[in-house]
Amino acid sequence: MFRQAIILFIFLASVEFFRLIFIPKQVFLLLSFGATVIMTVVIIINSIYDSGKKGFFQNFKFEIILMFIAVALSMFGARYGHGQSFLLSSWVQMGMYYYFFYFFLHTVRVRPKELENLMLIMAFIWIFLYVAQYVLYPRMLINLRVEEARGTIRIFLPGGGFTGVMFLYFLHKFFISNKKAYLLYCLLYAAIQVSKGTRSTLASFIFIVVIYILFSKQVRSRIAVILLMFFGAVMFFFIFQDIFISLIDISKTQSAQEGDDIRVRAARFFLTEFYPNTLNYFTGNGVSHMASPYGLKVWFYKTTYGYFQSDLGVLGAFTKFGVLYVLSILLMFRKMFIIPIEAKNIWLRFFVLTLATGAIMGEPFSQPSSIVVILTITYIIDVSNFEKFHSPIVLEKTKT
C-alpha cells in the first residue's frame, strides 16, 4: 500500500495536483520537486543496499540514459549559446527529471495491475475536474487557462494522458467481455474529446479508434461495429453540432488567409534564425526561463510574433533538447512496437500508435504528466515481456 501511495503522489505531482485554485503556486513547485527527490533517493538507496537483487530486464534503460544526456547537453546549449546559467537551466527543466520514474518503478517492482488501478484513479479525478470546471465556468476551480471559444469551453487541464490510456484499456476490455460499463467510460471520454474543440486531438482520437477496429483481433464483426460507429458519429454531431460548425469555420478562415500559416513561420524561425551557432543544433538551446535574458527574448517572440515552440510539436522540442532527444524517442518507439508482450496487453500497441501521432503534434516526451504515463507503459511492457517467457514461479520470485 505504501508503494502505491508514493506512486499516486508522483502522478499527482506530475500534473501539479491539477493546479487546484486553493493551492498556492509555490506549493505546486515544492511538491513537484519533492517527487523527483523521492525517486532519486529511492534509486540511490536501492543501488547501494539492494543492487544484487535481480528484477525485470530494463529494455528502455539505454534510451532513458540517452534522454538524460540530451537534457544535460541542452544546459550547455543554453549557457554558451544564450547566456543562461546552469543553475537556472537545471531548475526550469525540472520536469525532465521525471524520467527517473522508469528506474523508480523497476526499483519498487510494483505490479502492472496496481499501476493500471492508479492510472484509473487519475483518469477519474481528471474527468471529474474537467466536467466540474466545464459546468461551473466562469467560476474557476483550477489555476489554468480556461476560455470560451470555438463554440465550447476550452479547458487546458494537464493529465489527459491518463484518460487516454484508460480509454484504450477499457475499449480493449469491452471487446473482450462486452461489459457495458467499459463502453460507458469510452463514450464519456469521446464526448470530452469533442467538447475540447481541438482539431488535432479530435483527429488523433478518431484515427486510433478506426485503427483499433480495423486491426484488433478482439473485434469479431467489423461491419457491425463500423455501422454503430457511423450512427454514433451522427448522434455526436447533432449533440455537439455548434462545436463542429465552429471548427469548420475556423479551418475555412485559416485556409483563406494569405501567406504562410503561423506555425510554418514559427518553425522556419526557430529552425534557422533562432540558433546562435551550428553546435546548438546538436545540443539544443535548452529550456528558457524568464529570469534570464534568454527567457525574455523567447517571451518577446511569443508576444510580438506569436511564435511558440510548443506549437511545433517534436520540432519545438528538438530546438530545446537537440538531436539526442529525437534519437531517444525514435529508439523508444522502435522497442515499444517490437518487444514481444502477452496477448492480454496488446492494447499497449495502440497506445504507442496514439503516442506517435501525439509526438508529431505535441511534446509528450517533455511534459511531466505525459512522461510518467509513457514510463508506466514502458515498465508494463518490460513486465509483460518477462511474463511471456518465464514461468509463474520465477515471476513470483522476481516480484517479491
Q: What is the pLDDT along the chain (400 residues), one digit of tens a residue?
A: 788 999 999 999 999 888 888 888 788 888 888 899 999 999 888 887 765 566 678 899 999 999 999 999 999 999 998 989 999 999 899 889 999 999 999 998 889 999 999 999 999 999 999 888 888 888 888 888 777 766 667 788 888 889 888 888 888 888 787 787 888 888 888 778 777 756 566 666 677 777 777 766 655 555 545 555 554 555 455 444 545 455 455 555 554 444 457 778 888 888 888 898 989 899 999 999 888 999 899 999 888 888 888 878 888 899 999 999 999 999 999 999 999 988 888 888 888 888 888 887 778 898 998 999 999 999 999 999 888 776 554 445 555 4
How far apart are alpha carbons 282 and 131 in whole angstroms? 43
Tens of pLDDT, residues 246-295: 545 555 555 444 445 777 888 888 888 889 898 989 999 999 988 899 98
- Sequence-ordered list of residues with C-beta below 8 angstroms from that of 197, at least 6 positions apart, any chain: 149, 150, 151, 152, 154, 243, 246, 247
List, for residues 166-187, the tens digit of each pLDDT value.
Answer: 888 888 888 787 787 888 888 8
3-state SS class at 142: strand
Alpha-carbon distance of 272 to 315, in angstroms, equals 12
What H or E segment, with its residue span, contains residue 81? Answer: helix 61-82
pLDDT of residue 238: 46
The count of domains in the chain is 1
41 lies in a domain?
A: no
Residue 275 in domain: yes
- In a domain? residue 295: yes
Query: 136 in a domain, yes or no?
Result: yes
CA distance 68 to 58: 16
What is the value of pTM for the model shown?
Answer: 0.85
Beta bridge partners of 20: 142
Do 143 and 26 touch, CB atoms closer than 8 A?
A: no
Instruction: State residue 156's pLDDT score.
Output: 83
Domain that holds residue 104: 66-399
Per cent of the chain over pLDDT 90 is 30
Residue 124 falls inside a structural domain: yes
**Would 393 be classed as within a structural domain?**
yes
pLDDT reported for residue 326: 92
How far apart are alpha carbons 298 and 393 in whole angstroms?
A: 56
Residue 205 in domain? yes
For residue 20, give the DSSP letter: B
Distance CA 229, CA 358 (A): 23
